[in-house]
Amino acid sequence: MWKGCAGMDVDYTHGYSCQETDRLHDQASVLTDLLHFDTLFPSGHLVLEAGCGVGSQTRILSRRNPNTRFVAVDISRASVDQAQQCARSLDLKNVRFQVQDINSLSFRSRSFDHVFICFVLEHMADPVKTLVELRRVLKDGGTLTAIEGDHGSAFFHPDSDAARKAIGCKVRIQAEAGGNADIGRQLYPLMVKAGFRDPFVTPRMVHANGGRPDLLEGFTLKTFTAMIEGVKDRAVSGNLIDEKLFDQGIRDLIRTTEPGGTFCYTFFKAQAIR
């Protein structure tokens, strides 16, 4: 789960208002640019956002494509309500929201010009099944755009076995929940298996170093390290790792944001045609 960065999922229940969250996202615009500089859809086209959550990506889609019509769906009524409320308060006029299971959509086949899905396939037990269903609702010649991270893509200086083991806990916990935190590298074969034509995958690396204090703070520390730290209790109570080793891993990740340190993480963006 990506929180608080580049329009990644944000939990509004912790006292954030939409506007406050929006302001925070603006600070992460570097990452938004990296992932979304080419998320552009033609005027008048109809786009399905599959798995919109509380609408973190929806805001970006809507604003970058003011003349495109979006239908944003999520399986969670609570998330859709939040997303809708937020879109209203930000005056996003080109988005409708619906509660829908993206593995079994109520839309007729060939309804949409494009489908967009971001940070969702990593949580699906059978991502090919999901992609097949998304392909069904695409018009012939329509495109799917998918963005996913890949925790196994993380590497850093100074290197640290403890940090890699702490990251590994997050990967295992997500796998036990039926997901795949290393899914980014698999986007091409997943698209092929789901029947898409001509998938095209581009890696988008975040490379944080002393020349990019914004990324060291906003991405390495407050996004990635915070996310890994978030599984500590489950990792330790589940005997996946010794508490001291986990804590060392977190300290070593923090160390990569200090002078002389560097950090690399890769997102993957795929486009493919029905």
Q: In the complex, what is the shortest distance from the CB of residue 211 to a second copy, in angstroms, rounded to a whole number?
A: 6
Contact between 274 and 197 (Cβ < 8 Å): yes
Binder to a second copy among 22, 29, 155, 255 (CB under 8 A)? 155
Site for a second copy in 201-240 (CB under 8 A): 201-203, 205, 207, 209-211
Q: What is the CA angle 103-52-113, rounded to 5?
A: 70
Query: Which residues, other chains included, contact 19 with Cβ-Cβ below 8 Å and sequence gap of 6+?
Result: 89, 90
Instruction: Please tell me whether residue 46 adopts helix, strand or coil conformation.
Output: strand
Q: In the complex, what is the shortest distance from the CB of residue 188 to a second copy, in angstroms, rounded to a whole number?
A: 4
Binder to a second copy among 266, 267, 271, 274 (CB under 8 A)? 266
From the number of C-beta atoms within 10 Å of its C-beta (0-12, 13-18, 19+), residue 98 rates as middle
Q: In the complex, what is the shortest distance from the CB of residue 18 to a second copy, in angstroms, rounded to a whole number?
A: 34
Q: What is the dihedral of CA 40, 44, 47, 52, to 10 degrees?
A: 80
Q: In the complex, what is the shortest distance from the CB of residue 169 to a second copy, in angstroms, rounded to a whole number?
A: 16
Q: In the complex, what is the shortest distance from the CB of residue 213 to a second copy, in angstroms, rounded to a whole number?
A: 12
168-197 footprint of a second copy as x/- string (CB under 8 A)? --------------x--xx-xx--xx----
From the list 23-31, 79-87, 114-122, 147-155, the region that binds a second copy by CB under 8 A is 147-155
Contact between 94 and 66 (Cβ < 8 Å): yes
From the list 17-25, 68-76, 79-87, 253-261, the region that binds a second copy by CB under 8 A is 253-261
Q: How far is CA 28 from CA 34, 97, 152, in A?
A: 10, 25, 22
Rg from Cα positions in the chain = 19
Instruction: Please tell me whether residue 15 adopts helix, strand or coil conformation.
Output: coil
Q: Distance between CA 26 and CA 14 in Å, rounded?
A: 19
- Closer by beta carbon to a second copy, 98 or else 209: 209
Q: Distance between CA 148 and CA 119 in Å, rounded?
A: 5
Binder to a second copy among 76, 129, 152, 251 (CB under 8 A)? 152
Q: In the complex, what is the shortest distance from the CB of residue 260 to a second copy, in angstroms, rounded to a whole number?
A: 4
- Closer by beta carbon to a second copy, 111 or else 152: 152
Q: Is residue 273 a contact point for a second copy (CB under 8 A)?
A: no
Binding site for a second copy (CB under 8 A): 150, 152-153, 155-157, 159, 182, 185-186, 188-189, 192-193, 198-203, 205, 207, 209-211, 259-262, 264, 266, 268
